[in-house]
Structure 1
C-alpha cells in the first residue's frame, strides 16, 4: 500500500507492506491541526528532534523492562527493574512503562508487572536505596478534547494521516486508539515519545505474531528521532539478557522494515 503525506509543506512518500502494520500509524481527522498548539502536544512534540548520541542506559533499560513484562517473565522483569533503577530510571518512569504496556500486551501482564514494581520498590527502600520518585504527568486534555488531540498525536507520530479498510470495518477500535492510546496515554508527558516507542518496540519484539506492528513502530521510532543504528543497539542488549528470540525478531524487523 502506498500513501502520500503532506506535512509542513513537505511531501513524503512511503511504502508499507501490510494493512495491519498501520494499526498504530493510523488515521486522520478534520480539525486535528487545530489541536497542534495545545500544551500536551507541544511538550511531547519537542521530543521529535533527532537523537545524535547512542542510546542511554535508561533508554535501553526501558526496552528491557517492557520486553520482560510483555512476556510475563517476572524473574527477568525483576532484574530489569533493578537494572533500570540503578541506571537512573525513576519509579515514575518504570510505572509509566508498565501502565502503557496494557495497550499492547493487555491488562493482566500490565497489572502483574506493576505488582512486581511495587515489590521491587519496597525491597530497595528496605535496602536503603533512595530511588527518585520522578515526575507526574502534566495537565491532560479534557475528555471532550481527547479525540482531536489523539488524532493529532497519531498523525505526528506516523508522519501523516493514514486511513485503512480495517478501521472502516471496525470503527470502535479506531476510536479507542485515537481517544485513549494517543489522546490519553501519549499525552502523558512524564515519559517522552522516544522512550514510549522504545518500550513499545521492546514489548512487540518480545511477543510472537505481531511482526507487522513491530515494523510499524520501528517506523514511528524513526519519526520521533531515533535512528536504525540506535534501534539496533537493542539487539545485543536482548542477546546479553538471554532473550535470543526477541533479539532475532528485532533484527529481522530492522532488516526488512526500513523506511523507503
Structure 2
C-alpha cells in the first residue's frame, strides 16, 4: 500500500516538473487580466525595474485597474520591500499618467479609501484583521520575534494590518497577490512566503491561481527565486491533502 508521505512527495515533484503545463491547462480559471497586472506591477516595483514597470503600468490601466488601485498596490508593497522602491514606483506612475494625459487619455481615478469609523485601538483592529485573514483566533503564545522585540509585533498589528490592510481600495485577495509577488521577487523569505500563500488559499485564491502567479513572474524574476517559490507552493499544497 502506498503511504501518504510518498504521495505528498510525488505531488510536489509533479508541481515542480509540470508548472508550465498546469498553468496552461487552467488558464480559463486562472488570474484575470487585472490580477496579472497587479502581480507584474508588484514584482517590477519591488525589483526596481522602472523601464519595464512603465510598460506594465500602461498594461494595467488598459486591463481596467484604476489609478487609485495601482497607487494602493505601491503603497501596500512598501511594507515588504521598503519606501525607496515604492516611491520610485509612484514617480514612474506619475510619468506614465502625465504622458497619457498629453496623449488625450483620461484614466479612471477610482474610489478613495473609506474613512475608518472603528474607534477601537489600532492594535486591536489590526489583530482582528489578521484573524480575518487567517480565519482563526490568535490568542496563543507570541512568536519568538515578538518576544524578542515586542515593538515590531506592535508595528505589525497597528501599521501593517490596521493602517494598510484596513484600507478598502484593494480587497484581501488583491493585497495578498501583491504580498506574495513581492516576497517571491525579493527572495530568501520562504517562511513568510509560505505563510502568505496559505493566507491566499484561506481567502479563496485557488491553487491554480497561485500556480499561474508564479508562472507570470518568470519573465521578471530570477530562476532561482521562481524555483524556490514553486517548491514552497508544492509543499504547501501537498500538506493540504
For the aligned pair, the TM-score class normalised by the smaller chain equals 0.7 to 0.9
8 A contact 1:140–1:184 mirrored in 2:
no
Matched, 1:62 2:62: no
Q: Match for 1:155 among 108, 115, 131?
A: 131
Which residue pairs with 2:62 in the alignment?
86
8 A contact 2:39–2:217 mirrored in 1:
no
Which residue pairs with 1:243 in the alignment?
221
Equivalent residues, number: 208
Deviation at 1:254, TM superposition (A): 1.0
Which residue pairs with 1:253 in the alignment?
232
Unaligned runs of 5+ in 1: 1-51
State TM-score, norm by structure 2. Answer: 0.81
Q: Match for 2:157 among 159, 175, 178?
A: 178
Which residue pairs with 2:48 in the alignment?
72
Give 3-state SS (helix, strand or coil) of 1:233's partner. helix
Which whole-Å CA distance do the structure 1 matches of 2:178 and 2:37 have between them? 9
State TM-score, norm by structure 1. Answer: 0.75
Deviation at 1:144, TM superposition (A): 5.4
Q: Which moved more, 1:132-141 or 1:91-100?
A: 132-141
Which whole-Å CA distance do the structure 2 matches of 1:244 and 1:147 have between them? 37
Larger radius of gyration: 2
Unaligned runs of 5+ in 2: 1-27
Give 3-state SS (helix, strand or coil) of 1:181's partner. helix
Q: Which moved more, 1:137-146 or 1:113-122?
A: 137-146
Q: CA RMSD in A?
A: 1.8
Give 3-state SS (helix, strand or coil) of 1:187's partner. coil
8 A contact 2:43–2:220 mirrored in 1:
no
Greater helix proportion? 2
